[in-house]
Amino acid sequence: MKKTNAPTDNLAEKYFNIAEVILVVINADQTVDRINQKGCKVLGYKEKDIVDKNWFDNFIPEALRKDVKAVFDKLINEKIKPVEYYENTVLTKNGEEKIIAWHNTILKDEKGKIVCTISSGEDITEQKNTEDELKLRSEITEQVKVSVLTTGLDFKINWVNQAFNALYGYSLDEVIGKTPDFLNSEPLSDEIQSDIYQTMFSGEAWMGEVMNRRKDGTTFLCELDIFPLKDKNGNIFAYAGHQHDITERKQIEEEILSVSNIPAENPNPVIRISSDKTILYANDSFNKLLTNAGLSEKDAIKILPDDLYRLIDIALEEGKPHIMIEAKAADRVISYNIIPIMEQGYVNLYGRDVTEHNKLERELKDKVKDLEKFYEMAVGREVRMKELKNKVKELEVRLSKYE
């Protein structure tokens, strides 16, 4: 086992063996002069099965072998300058390919001729696969129909998706570096923004309805959901929010109210239930829900909100409505508003199909989780790469006295 080209001292030798990164010395003839324990573990071989073997013929995938060898030969013959950092694939004992992030240096003899390379590497296979997956998910997030933006801790916008552009008319270049309050057209916008900031500082989410302004000057009623993004330790590292144009929804709600006295003309499900829990009336839209679920009117409670009877009692007692209470009817999700009609002693249930709305909300929540994971991974990788560079520089200093 030859170990002649890369002299060591005891301290450097100790570091070489216990380092949590791959350390490998490759001679000018392409054979492995030394490799540490971490390198052996990643490759799946014992040290004796790696040292003196041609690195490229044995530990580089065949498809890459010719090109990587050619680059190494040019480096040894000083036809190209050393590259301090690069990523390539190695081949393990069981045939698995792993992606390694390498940091490199060269050693020369007393005549100035390159005699070997010293490389430190980190297995980033899983990280790369995660990045590819997150990139795909990020592209999907770009395609979702819900407007999304993110900001730094200074509340300045650093990313928006395509749905934001469609909703507001602004591109990313036009809004990056701005705070989102420039979109607010509420008369009390300063007070609202102050409330949002205070809520974010407390680590909580803020939800509300505000009047927003598009690039073309038109305004619309916007439902905002703003929340902090936290790492696995619970530390806030960014903020995100999504925006819904609820103008149409509000119009529908007004239409529902306008036909509340003539429920037969309401295009959405309407049911009237007395204080003794008798169904007094159900319009055609509700009867269609029953039919689709394979139920008769006597089984109507099966597609109405849980705990409905208790909610009816409370509504009639307090004279106050209960809103946005969901129930499933076959493959549809219906959101009901329970409106008490005190004089007659019954309640009207006004329903709205929210199946697609809920689906979009779930999709958005998944994308937000992806964003959190992406930010955390990006920050972690940057720290790890700095640590790796520092370790390589430390080793280079210890070995430089032998050049």
Same structural domain, 154 and 233: yes
Minimal CA–CA distance to 95: which of 133, 20, 45? 45
Residues 265 and 368 in one domain: no
As given in the structure block, the two tokens for residue 236 are: 């806030």
Q: Which of 46-55, 82-91, 289-298, 336-345 has the highest mean pLDDT?
A: 46-55
Residue 172 reports pLDDT greater than 70: yes
- What's the pLDDT tens digit per position in 2-23? 444 544 456 556 667 777 889 9
Q: For residue 164, give the CATH number of its domain.
A: 3.30.450.20
- 246 contacts 209 by C-beta, under 8 angstroms: yes
DSSP states of 311-360 as a string? Answer: HHHHHHHHT--EEEEEEEETTEEEEEEEEEETTTTEEEEEEEE-HHHHHH
Q: Is the pLDDT of residue 151 over 60?
A: yes
Range with the largest mean pLDDT of 51-65, 261-275, 388-402: 51-65
**Please, what is the angle between helix 355-400 and helix 125-143, to 10°?**
150
Residues 115 and 22 in one domain: yes
If one counts every other C-beta atom within 10 angstroms of the C-beta of residue 85, the result is 12
pLDDT at 381 over 70: no
Torsion of CA 30, 31, 34, 39, to 10 degrees: 80
Q: Name the pLDDT band for 403 (thresholds 50, 70, 90).
A: very low
Shared-domain flag, residues 231 and 294: no
Q: For residue 241, give the nearest of 160, 166, 187, 168 by alpha carbon.
A: 160
Residue 270, CA atoms < 13 Å, CB-side half-sphere: 19
- Whether 2 is covered by a domain: the verdict is no
Q: Which of 123, 153, 173 is the last residue of a domain?
A: 123
The pTM of this model reads: 0.42
Q: What is the pLDDT of residue 387?
A: 64
* 133 and 241 assigned to the same domain: yes
Residue 250 has pLDDT above 90, yes or no: no
pLDDT for residue 249 = 74
Q: How far apart are CA 276 and CA 355, in angstroms?
A: 31
Would you place residue 330 in the very low, low, confident or very high pLDDT band (cuts 50, 70, 90)? confident
- Give the integer Cα–Cα distance in Å for 238 and 233: 14
User: In the prediction, which pLDDT does 2 show?
Assistant: 45
Asked if residue 256 has pLDDT above 80, the reply is no
| H helix or E strand, kind and range, residue 392 | helix 355-400
Residue 326 lies in a domain: yes
Taking 70 as the threshold, does the pLDDT of residue 238 lie above it? yes
| 323 assigned to some structural domain | yes
How many domains is the chain partitioned into structurally?
3
Residue 48: per-residue pLDDT: 94
Q: pLDDT at position 132, please?
A: 62
Q: Which domain, by its residues, includes 209? A: 129-245+357-384
| Rounded distance between C-alpha atoms, residue 368 and residue 272, angstroms | 40
Same domain assignment for residues 330 and 299 = yes
Please determine, for residue 218, whether its predicted confidence score (pLDDT) is greater than 90.
Answer: yes
In this structure, what token pair is assigned to residue 87?
A: 């990523």
Q: What's the pLDDT score for residue 159? A: 86
Is the model's pLDDT at 282 over the cut of 70? yes
Q: Does residue 1 have a pLDDT over 50?
A: no
Q: Which two tokens stand for residue 377?
A: 């991974």
Out of 123, 145, 167, pick the residue that ends a domain.
123
The rounded mean pLDDT for the chain is: 83
Cβ atoms within 10 Å, residue 172: 15
284 and 225 fall within a common domain: no
Average pLDDT over residues 145-160: 87
Q: Looking at 84, 101, 123, which one is the last position of a domain?
A: 123
Whether residues 168 and 78 fall in one domain: no
Does residue 52 or residue 263 have the better pLDDT?
52
Q: What is the mean pLDDT of residues 96-108?
A: 89
d(Cα 42, Cα 224) in Å, to the nearest integer? 48
Question: Distance between alpha carbon 403 and the CA centroid of its chain, in Å?
Answer: 47
